[in-house]
Amino acid sequence: MACAPLFAAHNPAAPEWMHALVNAPLPEHDEKTDAVLMYEEENLTVLSAEKTKTVVRRAYKILRSSGREYGTAVVRFNSLNEKVTSIRGWCIPAQGMDYEVRDKEAIEMSPLKDQVVELVTDERVKLLHIPAPDPGNIVGYEYETESRPLILQVAWDFQHKVPVRESHYALNLPSGWEYKAAWLNYPEVKPTLTGNNNWQWGVRDVKEIREEEDMPPWEGVAGQMIVTLFPPGGPAANSLPTWNELGRWELNLAKGRRDPSPEIKRKVAELTASAPTPLARMKALAEFLQHDVRYVGIELGIGGWQPHPAPEVFAHRYGDCKDKATLMSSMLQEIGVDSYYVAIYTRRGSVTPDTPANLAFNHVILAIQLPGGLDDASLIATMQHPRLGKLLFFDPTNELTPFGQIRGHLQANYGLLVTPDGGELVELPMQPSTTDGIQRTAKLTLDTLGTLSGDVQEILVGDRAAEKRASFISATKSADQIKPVEVLLADSLALFHLSKANAINVRETERPFVWTYSFQAESYAKLAGGLLLVRPRVLGRKAQALLETPEPRRYPIEFPGPVKDTDTFDITLPAGYEVDDLPPPTDVDYRFASYHSKTEAHGNVIRYSRTFEVKELSVPVSEAGELKKFYRLIASDERSTAVLKLASR
């Protein structure tokens, strides 16, 4: 498609590096590929420990109309320590003249502009729209940034959502500087020395990453090279080659910020005055942090990593995750309990024991050093540290998870434990599956017309309870509060009427969240001659179709957390009917999960009972076939029917 005449006035030729791609062969791709990245180049020049310059070039060939998004150059930067000094873009149409768009046509905005969140940040994004990013055309751009780095470490992200023909990275260091490169999720490539302390790496034909349901986070699967820089004379304060040194850096940022104010001391005394035990005192402080200190992120410059002083957080009654952790730590000190920061990524799989030290985290929680002899069944999220003893992990940001537990996405996840001795990577505990789940019981009656009616009780704990509490609390109308029940019924029943629904223990997070409701479902059972066909599994689906795709699975499957759900449905038969046939039991037990169900007849009652349990949180690709079989067996059980016949007289 030829470009519109509107751009003829500033229509110089695209640069030679783009024209060299016009007849270049495309990387391997399929018919679903929207675009391919033909060429990528990133050049980092280190001017000093306080200043770097980066030049980036990219050129895409658009293959489908859905690939037009690649006609927009997107540059993210931090306005306090980084600036975009230039940006230009070009289009080489399949037919017609190519053209250029310049800096003045770029738009700068906040990436959070359309998000409903309380957050103050200096993160910015510059956008440059290149017209005519149509199928068959090549679009490209070049931009330059200058930075004052917080740490002397950079990342080369060379794997994308589209195939890459070739990608290059150049590192230009001053005399006497050294570097260390570490590779993630990709075989190591050795560099070429191109000049005096100038190095270059290159990769070709890099496969695209396509989103898969329940896959690990992008950071856990995408190819990346982490480069740590060292000025002459040894590592600088912001050179972080090890997790230990990264921990020392974070500890230094927080130095003195946990010191309490007189107001904090008085508040701790007030909150713990009637608490008779150390555990009761810790719970009182946790309750205050979870419910009386709002989450508000204020991340300006180093504020993205450095917490605000505890007295400020206390005075304002708001802060982000590291601020709330800082205040909680300060208050714990006042009752003689030590605690330590834990930096972590909020999705499991981003960091592993093989990950090189880098700023790979987006969240901060606490590891609380439990007093000797304190042993309570409610303290589940614990680990035994060889030097510090028993540590309890606690997230002050999460107001709906009880003290003593953590959410599923933090379990079996790796975090950086920051102690006075530095940082160390630790694996957070995986809680027993019984700490998260739904126990659903129902007493139901079936009539001769096939109408099913009765009462249901659901007892929820763990993340299941937190999710339902959040939904209930955030609803502004009573009709919206019962939406989760209506959604469950609609997913399981063709026709239904919800006659009542009540929630219990909505804000009592240390107690199970409970739903009780009553419904009626017409035509639930189907008449077939003199027989009545009824599905014993009345409510809830455990089967999933995430692996029922024509393409083979590329990435592991991540469960949200360990879980154990149970269902028990008692169905009283209609008068004059008896059981003719029942579905067989289902017993499936894999390393990662198990499912057991059975349907029994007890007099005039059919009882269907089942248990679904997630035992391991990550399923490798090598076991994807077993997981697919697992879900298929569950689906078969969920569709099975019992046959009722008229009782012989």
Amino acid identity at 285? L
Per-residue pLDDT band for 116 (boundaries 50, 70, 90) equals very low
Q: Are residues 419 and 514 in the same domain?
A: no
- Chain centroid, CA 443 distance in Å: 38
Per-residue pLDDT band for 3 (boundaries 50, 70, 90) equals very low
Q: Are residues 406 and 523 in the same domain?
A: no
Q: Are residues 129 and 218 in the same domain?
A: yes
Secondary structure (H, E, C), 604-645: CEEEEEEEEEECCCEECHHHHHHHHHHHHHHHHHHHCCEEEE
CB–CB of 455/570 below 8 Å?
A: no
Would you say residue 10 has pLDDT above 60? no
Q: Are residues 500 and 582 in the same domain?
A: yes
Does residue 236 form part of some domain? no
Question: In which element (H, E) is residue 321 found?
Answer: helix 321-333
Number of H helices and E strands in the chain, helices first, is 10, 38
3-class secondary structure, 572: strand
CB–CB of 249/240 below 8 Å?
A: yes
Residues in the chain: 649
What residue spans of 124-229 are helical by DSSP H?
none
Q: Residue 502's closest CA among 515, 486, 483, 511?
A: 515
pLDDT one-digit tens code per residue, 193-210: 999 999 999 999 999 999
Per-residue pLDDT band for 165 (boundaries 50, 70, 90) equals very high
User: Which of 323-337, 425-439, 635-649 comes out lowest in average pLDDT?
Assistant: 635-649
Q: Are residues 261 and 311 in the same domain?
A: yes
Does residue 641 form part of some domain? yes
Does residue 127 form part of some domain? yes
Q: What is the CATH number of the domain that holds 445?
A: 2.60.120.1130
Total number of domains constituting the chain = 3
Please give the residue range of the domain that contains residue 573.
437-646
Q: Residue 138's closest CA among 60, 37, 27?
A: 60
% the chain with pLDDT above 90: 86
CB–CB of 417/365 below 8 Å?
A: no
Which residues are CB-contacts of 479 (< 8 A; sequence separation ≥ 6)? none
Torsions phi, psi of 620, nearest 5?
-65, 160
Amino acid identity at 314? F
pLDDT one-digit tens code per residue, 341-379: 999 999 999 999 989 888 889 999 999 999 988 989 999
pLDDT one-digit tens code per residue, 266-298: 999 999 999 999 999 999 999 999 999 999 877
Per-residue pLDDT band for 81 (boundaries 50, 70, 90) equals confident
Question: In which element (H, E) is residue 333 found?
Answer: helix 321-333
Which residues are CB-contacts of 262 (< 8 A; sequence separation ≥ 6)? none
CA gap 268, 266 in Å, rounded: 5
Per-residue pLDDT band for 439 (boundaries 50, 70, 90) equals very high
Residue 433 DSSP class: G
Does residue 65 form part of some domain? yes
For the chain, the average pLDDT equals 93
Token code pair at residue 129: 């729209």
Would you say residue 224 has pLDDT above 70? yes
Torsions phi, psi of 48, nearest 5?
-165, 180
Q: Residue 33's closest CA among 133, 203, 161?
A: 161
Q: Are residues 213 and 309 in the same domain?
A: no
Half-sphere exposure for 375 (CA within 13 Å, toward CB): 3
Residue 247 exposed, middle or buried by CB count within 10 Å (0-12, 13-18, 19+): buried
Number of C-beta neighbours around residue 316 at 10 A: 14
CA gap 399, 509 in Å, rounded: 9
CA gap 367, 416 in Å, rounded: 10
Torsions phi, psi of 383, nearest 5?
-140, 155
pLDDT one-digit tens code per residue, 532-587: 999 999 999 999 999 999 889 999 999 999 999 999 999 999 999 999 999 999 99
- Looking at residue 114, its pLDDT comes to 38
Q: Residue 438's closest CA among 612, 559, 596, 599?
A: 612
Token code pair at residue 4: 């519109």
Residue 153 DSSP class: E
CA gap 320, 313 in Å, rounded: 9
Per-residue pLDDT band for 118 (boundaries 50, 70, 90) equals very low
pLDDT one-digit tens code per residue, 599-630: 999 999 999 999 999 999 999 999 999 999 99
| Domain's final residue, options 409, 431, 453 | 431
Torsions phi, psi of 364, nearest 5?
-135, 130
Does residue 238 form part of some domain? no
CA gap 213, 619 in Å, rounded: 13
- Looking at residue 238, its pLDDT comes to 67
Per-residue pLDDT band for 236 (boundaries 50, 70, 90) equals low
Does residue 237 form part of some domain? no
Q: Are residues 217 and 264 in the same domain?
A: no
Does residue 370 form part of some domain? yes
Q: What is the CATH number of the domain that holds 408?
A: 3.10.620.30
Q: Are residues 443 and 299 in the same domain?
A: no
- Looking at residue 506, its pLDDT comes to 95
Amino acid identity at 161? K
| Domain's final residue, options 410, 431, 452 | 431
CA gap 142, 57 in Å, rounded: 4
Higher pLDDT, 552 or 5: 552
Would you say residue 128 has pLDDT above 50? yes
| Domain's final residue, options 230, 252, 276 | 230
- Looking at residue 359, its pLDDT comes to 87
Q: Are residues 286 and 343 in the same domain?
A: yes
Which residues are CB-contacts of 561 (< 8 A; sequence separation ≥ 6)? 407, 408, 409, 411, 431, 436, 462, 463, 614, 617
Token code pair at residue 516: 């009780």
Does residue 366 form part of some domain? yes
Q: Are residues 530 and 621 in the same domain?
A: yes
Q: What is the CATH number of the domain that holds 215?
A: 2.60.40.3140
Residue 262 DSSP class: H
Instruction: Return the ∠ at Cα 449 (arms to 446 and 452), rounded to 5°.
Output: 30
Q: Residue 182's closest CA among 361, 413, 357?
A: 357
Q: Are residues 71 and 169 in the same domain?
A: yes
At which residue do the structure tokens 């075989």 appear?
A: 187
Q: Residue 555's closest CA among 547, 544, 564?
A: 547
Would you say residue 409 has pLDDT above 80? yes
Number of C-beta neighbours around residue 278 at 10 A: 17
3-class secondary structure, 302: helix
Would you say residue 7 has pLDDT above 80? no
Amino acid identity at 593? A
Q: Are residues 219 and 365 in the same domain?
A: no
Would you say residue 124 has pLDDT above 90? no
Token code pair at residue 172: 């230009």
CA gap 149, 181 in Å, rounded: 17
Amino acid identity at 621? V
